[in-house]
Structure 1
Amino acid sequence: MKLLNRYLIRQLAVMTVYALLALLALYSFFDIISEIGDVGEGSYTGWKMMQYVLMQMPAHAYELMPLAVLIGGLIALSQLAAGSELTVMKTSGMSTQKLIAVLLQFGLIFAVATALLGEWLAPSLSQRAENLKAGALSGKISTGSQGLWLKEGNAIINVREMLPDHTLLGIKAWRHNEALQLVEAVAAESATIDADSNWHLQNVHSSRLSGLQQRDGQMDVDLVQTEFDKEKQWDIGLQRNLLDVLLVDPEQMSVSALTTYIRHLQDNNQQTRQYEIAWWRKLMYPVAAMIMALVALAFTPQSTRHGNMGLKLFFGICLGLAFHFAGRLFGFTSQLYGVPPVVAALLPTLLFGLLGVYLIRRQEKR
């Protein structure tokens, strides 16, 4: 029986990977169509556009994984049913309960893959993709291991990260004169930017150099002035939209990043509902892969007629798309009517899981 289980899981997994690759190819095509208009601006070349599209693929894979599991499961089980293999398996002793257990194992594999994509790979590469594109289009920014680097006038600025409310964290700046000599270094804990592009820094440490002279090929400094300001306004003239590449949508943030930001909002007595919904959805989304495996069994045609098979496959795919949009709908409903975030995240998965179990039981009674 273990050999039969491995055979089923392998067939299901292969078809799921094929379905995922097909969906990724379709999404990547749409991304290319969307990005082609920006090619040629600044240093945004066709190669950089392809890099941008490739780095967005893990995020698309994360979003599409449950749908791919559903489509791959439907195709694999339909092929097994068409070849009478499912019938042979059942007559040889594989009950519906055992078949469901195998499908849950198959779904668990892709649930783990979904969790890994959503927690590590997708958020990191999506951020790099946005940084790459913004840097190529504007020519004023670049990225490194320490965050975002910007050049504006005689200042070089480093921003470690930006919170979803546009608060900047970990700001460092260096000013130089016309002779490219360092004249000031600034470090701030955080900052906000107003509509006039003025930076409002908090907890600012500044160091100014004066009396710069070139002696024997070395730089001499007569005086270093240091000061600390609780708050300080900095008129840098840097447009706010250039920093939006640091801004991450809640749906693209990892669970750990969402947890940190929710605590930040709670400490500052701010609304957290939107991010709590995203947090719970992140926890529940991998489970959707297992639920879609059950739905695939529920929509597997018992007849070998091709028309019936195609119709079942069509309805199964429509159901997968409905699940995708239902999650977003329940998220908006939670914000509008005050539904607890855990309920808004859990309800779509629970409803589709119950629907899958009901359809399987109904199918068995026939």
Structure 2
Amino acid sequence: MKLITRYLIRQLSVMTVYALLAFLALYSFFDIINEVGDLGKGSYNGAKMMQYVLMQMPAHAYDLMPLAVLIGGLIALSQLASGSEITVMKTSGMSTKKLIAVLLRFGLIFAVATAALGEWLAPSLSQSAENMKATATSGRISTGAQGLWLKEQNNIINVREMLPDHTLLGVKVWRHNEAFQLAEAVEAESATLNPDNSWQLKNVRRSLLDGEAVRTETQAEQNWPVRLQRGLLDVLLVKPEQMSVSELTTYIGHLKNNRQQTKLYEIAWWRKLMYPVAALVMALVALAFTPQNTRRGNMGLKLFGGICLGLAFHFAGRLFGFTGQLYGIPPFIAAVLPTMLFAVLGVYLIRRQEKR
């Protein structure tokens, strides 16, 4: 039985890797088409474009892993069914429960791979890719027309741009008192980050509000003991779905400490935790859509149905995230519900298949 288990896992894994590589090739082709328009901007040439596309592959692999598990599992199990190998395995004593256990072991392999990609490889490479492209096209990292906005204790901070070496340009700070009245406005030409997380402001202009009077001061340099963590600015330059669980935890804590909305990031946090489980669920769904009797001629139809279901799952997570944010659904439910629904569907279809 161990030999059969290893054989099944090998067949399933090989087809899943093939499916993942096919998806990555397709997504890379779309990335290249999307990036062609930026060629020639600054020093962004063909070599850097290919480097950017390659660095985005781990993020695509993370997104596509459950879909690859489903399609790879469907193809492998359908091939085994068409050759009557599954029938022979069941005849030799492999029950449906044992087959499910093998599929869960297969799914667990890719669940671990998904977790590793989402926590370590994909976030760092995606962030490096965006920074590399921004540096090549414009020589600076920009977060939009209004720059980057932060809130820390009684300070509202705006940073216009951030250079690749973490030098901040166009720093503005508005400090309010406990009554939420403006008490001070600070404008600095640039700032550098010190090892102790403080900011070294340069060419500083301060406006102090004292009753009805405004007092203005200028300084060449000023050390500002801000409490923001050094890596927090890097976290803010990427989308929530591109962050790791640890980065999301850090940023959610910062938002809560400053009494700001956290729902978008909490949904992303729960999705990060649940997404590897989707690989296990897709392995079960693959079994549910595997034709048991190939003589009925429904193999192609079932394969098509399974692939459509996988695509539906791929986009359902994003849809539930937007819906949860729009209608105030708790982040845990918005993130977990798609995976749970597909898990229930897979178990139901397998039980229905066994009763026939």
1:355 to 336, 345, 350: 345
Q: Do 1:130 and 1:245's aligned partners in 2 also have CA atoms closer than 8 Å?
A: no
Cα distance between partner residues in 2 of 1:311 and 1:259 = 43
Offset of 1:329 from its aligned partner?
1.6
CA deviation after TM superposition for structure 1 residue 304, in Å = 2.1
What amino acid does structure 1 have at the position aligned with 2:89? Answer: M
CA distance in 2, matches of 1:191, 1:59: 32
Greater CA drift, 243-252 or 356-365:
243-252
2:271 to 274, 281, 288: 281
Aligned: 1:320 with 2:310: yes
**Structure 1 residues 137 and 364: alpha-carbon distance in aligned structure 2, compared to 1, 3 A threshold:** same
1:148-197: CA deviations, max 9, x gaps?
A: 79xxxxxxxxxxx99799966xx8999xxxxxxxxxxxx99x95599xx9
Residue 337 (structure 1) aligned to one of 327, 334, 345:
327
Give the secondary-structure state (helix, strand or coil) at the position aligned to 2:298.
helix
Contact 2:71 2:286 in 1 (8 A): yes
Asked whether the equivalents of residues 127 and 246 of structure 1 are also in contact (C-alpha less than 8 Å), the reply is: no
For 1:21, the equivalent position in structure 2 comes to 21
Deviation at 1:303, TM superposition (A): 2.4
| Alignment of 1:86 onto 2:86 | yes
Structure 2 Cα separation of the partners of residues 297 and 200 of structure 1: 59
For residues 31-85 of structure 1, what are the alpha-carbon distances to aligned partners after superposition, in whole Å with 9 as ceiling and x for unaligned?
Answer: 1111112212221111111101000000000000000000000000000000000
TM-score (norm: length of structure 2): 0.77
In 2, the alpha carbon distance for the partners of 1:278 and 1:207 equals 37
Q: What value does the CA root-mean-square deviation take over the aligned residues?
A: 3.6
- TM-score, normalization: structure 1? 0.75
The alpha carbon displacement at 1:3 in A equals 1.1
Note the C-alpha offset of 1:341. 0.7
Determine the C-alpha separation between the residues in 2 that align with 1:350 and 1:310: 27
| Equivalent residues of 1:192, 1:200 under 8 A apart | no
Tell me, in whole angstroms, the C-alpha distance in 1 between the residues paired with 2:163 and 2:32. Answer: 36
1:67 is matched by which residue type in structure 2? Answer: L
Deviation at 1:259, TM superposition (A): 0.1
Closer, same or farther: CA 37–92 of 1 in aligned 2, 3 Å: same
- Cα-to-partner distance string for 1:288-342 (whole Å, 9 max, x where unaligned): 0000000000000112259522111111010011111211121122112221111
Deviation (angstroms), 1:229 = 5.5
Equivalence map 1:1-366=2 (5 Å): 1-138=1-138, 140-141=139-140, 204-205=199-200, 227-228=222-223, 247-305=237-295, 307-366=297-356
Aligned sequence identity (%): 73
What is the one-letter code of the residue matched to 1:323? Answer: F
